[in-house]
Amino acid sequence: MKRATYVLIILISAMVAGGCNKLAGPANAGLGGTSVLSVMPTNALSGYVDSCTVYIKYNATQAPGNNVYDDSMVCVVVNGVSVATFSNLNVGNYYLHTVGYETGLTPPNVTGGQAYTILTPGTFDVYVSTIQGI
Domain ranges within the chain, ordered by starting residue = 28-132
At residue 16, the pLDDT reads 39
| Segments of 16-121 assigned E as strands | 31-43, 47-48, 51-58, 71-74, 76-78, 81-89, 92-101, 109-118
Question: How high is the pLDDT of residue 6?
Answer: 40
Render each residue's pLDDT in the chain as its tens digit; 134 residues: 454 444 334 434 444 344 333 333 456 999 999 999 999 999 887 788 888 999 999 999 999 999 999 999 999 999 989 999 999 999 999 999 999 988 877 778 899 999 999 999 999 999 999 988 75
In the prediction, which pLDDT does 134 show? 58
**Top-level class of domain 28-132:** mainly beta
Contact 64, 95 (CB under 8 A): yes
Q: Give the integer Cα–Cα distance in Å for 89 and 123.
A: 10
Residue 26: the pLDDT is: 57
pTM over 0.85: no
Residue 102 confidence (pLDDT): 84
